[in-house]
Structure 1
Amino acid sequence: MSNYYAVFLPMLDQEKSMHYRPDHLSFLQKQTEAGRIFAKGRFTDGAGGLVIYIGETKNEIEQIVKQDPYISQGARGYEIHEWEMVK
């Protein structure tokens, strides 16, 4: 059974975020095509963004998140929380 994980990507460096945005978006597109993303978007106040990943474990999601150029290049931090969706 798959779980949902909300990943908050708080802004660390706005200049780096702008520079690595195309790489970040490409990374997210690949994850979406692989069926690993439920939803994604930026916060309109500039605080960062949120990606809701689909996976088996928090560790699995963390390994994916660490590959995001925003994370690997120090543009954003990350917090991962398992998310129980209520419909």
Structure 2
Amino acid sequence: MVLYAAILETIDPKKDAELLTVHKAYLQKYIDDGRIFAKGPFTDHSGGLVIYKASSFEEAMELAENDPAVLHKSRRLTLKEWRSNIE
């Protein structure tokens, strides 16, 4: 399983605050089924990071693009394949 880092930069803070509950619920589904390795906000309040476990870039992109914060354009998505140096 490969890891993919979804960098979610907040671009509409008001809309983002309105979507926070559904954003968290969306991510919780994938935490529960083991497809999220880690997640959390940046301490400067500029957005957050989600690290998905996926079998391909396309699968990770589908998960990340369907996040309500991305769908409703309160956050801008940048997705990168990521490899942990901690084994």
TM over 0.5: yes
| Aligned positions, number | 86
2:81 paired residue number? 82
SS in 1 for 2:7: strand
Q: Which runs of 5+ in 2 are unaligned?
A: none
1:57 paired to 2:60? no
State the TM-score, normalizing by the size of structure 2: 0.96
SS in 2 for 1:25: helix
Q: Which runs of 5+ in 1 are unaligned?
A: none
Query: Which consecutive aligned stretches of 4+ in structure 1 deviate over 4 angstroms post-superposition?
Result: none
1:8 paired residue number? 7
1:29 paired residue number? 28
C-alpha distance in structure 1 between counterparts of 2:3 and 2:31, whole Å = 14
Deviation at 1:23, TM superposition (A): 0.1
C-alpha distance in structure 1 between counterparts of 2:54 and 2:83, whole Å = 13
Structure 1 or 2: more strand by fraction:
2
Q: CA RMSD in A?
A: 0.6
Deviation at 1:46, TM superposition (A): 1.2
C-alpha distance in structure 2 between counterparts of 1:34 and 1:27, whole Å = 12
State the TM-score, normalizing by the size of structure 1: 0.96
1:40 paired to 2:7? no
* Amino acid of the structure 2 residue aligned with 1:10: E
